[in-house]
Amino acid sequence: MNATTVYERMLGSSTDVFLRRMAINFAIVGFLLHLLCCVLYDFKVIESDDLKSLFDSYLDALYTPFSIILAYEVYELIRAIPESFSNSIGKQFEVVTLLVVRDIFKNLADLGGANNVTIDADVAFIAVEAVAFVVLFGTALYFRAQTSDSKDLRQEDASIQAFVQQKKMLACGLVLVYVLVALYSFTNWSRGVIDGETGLSRTVFFSDFFTWLVVSDIIILLVSYKHITDFPQLARNTGFILSTVVIRVGIGIPGYTGAVLFILSAALAACVLRLSLHDTAVDESE
């Protein structure tokens, strides 16, 4: 089995279509099952203080389908890696946007169970997260608009074709890491549920996966030095890696600091992309 066959089986369009259909179906079934558990908990059929954070609000049911959709979007992020660096960064912000939305739903569910709700620190934090969502969403759209028809490198160059193949193999390796990290995170989380530690946190899976994503980005950057000697392009890719590192740190930090780091990462990546596009436009006009 050659490298192209491996890539097509793991990240090809037919596999993508199949996984997308499965993700949608699982999201619907997961949402209905979680909603049913919330109903049973509300009617005291399920009685457990350990499961309170999972079923005490009907809004908690939104956590399950968004988690499944996020799992699929992470796969889409991996698929974007061989296309271009900027495309994969844009997909990264789509993933983080959904991650923040999921956190907002969870925080609203926790807030909905409180009595005498006023404009306090909890509401202020949800407002900051909402701002982070808008900034991240805008950044994802900006990347999609600016990179949809662009390619980082010319495909007709033999050395560049070899670089693309290397990125495809790296993406296949990242798929294996993705599966292993997902299994490890789900196993640890399940053990926590059994032991009464049922907290829902964005650090589950995403903290470890983004660590490996940073590693893969650095490998791509280092390998690209064989094919790219243009400083602006190298500086651009380095800036994108910096934004990924900021996201990784933000995932591991709860509260306002994490939300601010997400906003900072989005602003940094958008500025780097804008500067690189401006540099390209100047070169073409000369």
- Rounded to whole angstroms, the Cα distance separating 237 from 207 reads 22
pLDDT bracket for residue 281 (50, 70, 90): low
Q: Are the C-beta atoms of residues 121 and 71 closer than 8 Å to each other? A: no
Percent of the chain with pLDDT over 90: 57
Residue 113: pLDDT above 80?
Answer: no
pLDDT computed for residue 109 by the predictor = 85
pLDDT computed for residue 213 by the predictor = 95
Q: Which alpha helices (DSSP H) does the chain contain, by range?
A: 3-11, 13-42, 52-55, 63-80, 85-112, 121-147, 158-194, 203-224, 231-252, 255-285
| Burial (0-12, 13-18, 19+ Cβ within 10 Å), 265 | buried
Residue 77: pLDDT above 90?
Answer: yes
Residue 283: pLDDT above 60?
Answer: no
pLDDT computed for residue 273 by the predictor = 94
Percent of the chain with pLDDT over 70: 88
Say what the pTM is.
0.90
User: Structure tokens of 193?
Assistant: 């549920």
Per residue in 6-53, pLDDT tens?
Answer: 999 999 999 999 999 999 999 999 999 999 999 998 888 887 777 777
Residue 114: pLDDT above 60?
Answer: no
pLDDT computed for residue 49 by the predictor = 72
| Burial (0-12, 13-18, 19+ Cβ within 10 Å), 15 | middle
**CA 233, 239, 243, 248 torsion-angle sign:** positive
pLDDT computed for residue 150 by the predictor = 55
Residue 158: pLDDT above 90?
Answer: no
In the chain, where are the structural domains located?
A: 3-285
